[in-house]
Amino acid sequence: MREFSTVELLRDLKTVTHAAAREPVAITQHRKQRFVLMAIEDFEKLSARNPDPRKAYAAGETPPELAAKLAEGLDRIIESDGDDA
């Protein structure tokens, strides 16, 4: 993966974006990789392969298997709090 510093990015945006159109490039700050710049098509492919598993549910919408796991976890927390008393 090619690397460009943030200074290079600011000075020569055209070169950096042309490189990012071919493959993802790393953007560095203080010689450490901090960001990745890539073509939107590459990002969309990556996002489609790895959809975000985090979801929010209203209390009545929680799937039963998830509700059971939550209840087990809460029971363990309640039991461990009683051990400290």
Contact present, 3 and 23 (Cβ < 8 Å)? no
Looking at residues 4-29, what average pLDDT do you find?
97
Domain regions of the chain by residue span:
1-54, 55-85
Q: What span, in angstroms and rounded, lies between the C-alpha atoms of 16 and 27?
A: 9
Q: What span, in angstroms and rounded, lies between the C-alpha atoms of 27 and 4?
A: 5
Measured in degrees and rounded to the nearest 5, phi and psi for residue 84 equal -80, -20
Quote the tokens at residue 49.
């392969």
Measured in degrees and rounded to the nearest 5, phi and psi for residue 43 equal -65, -45
- pLDDT at 52 exceeding the cut of 90: no
Higher pLDDT: 52 or 5? It is: 5
Mean pLDDT value across the chain: 90
The domain covering 1-54 belongs, at the CATH homologous superfamily level, to YefM-like domain (3.40.1620.10)
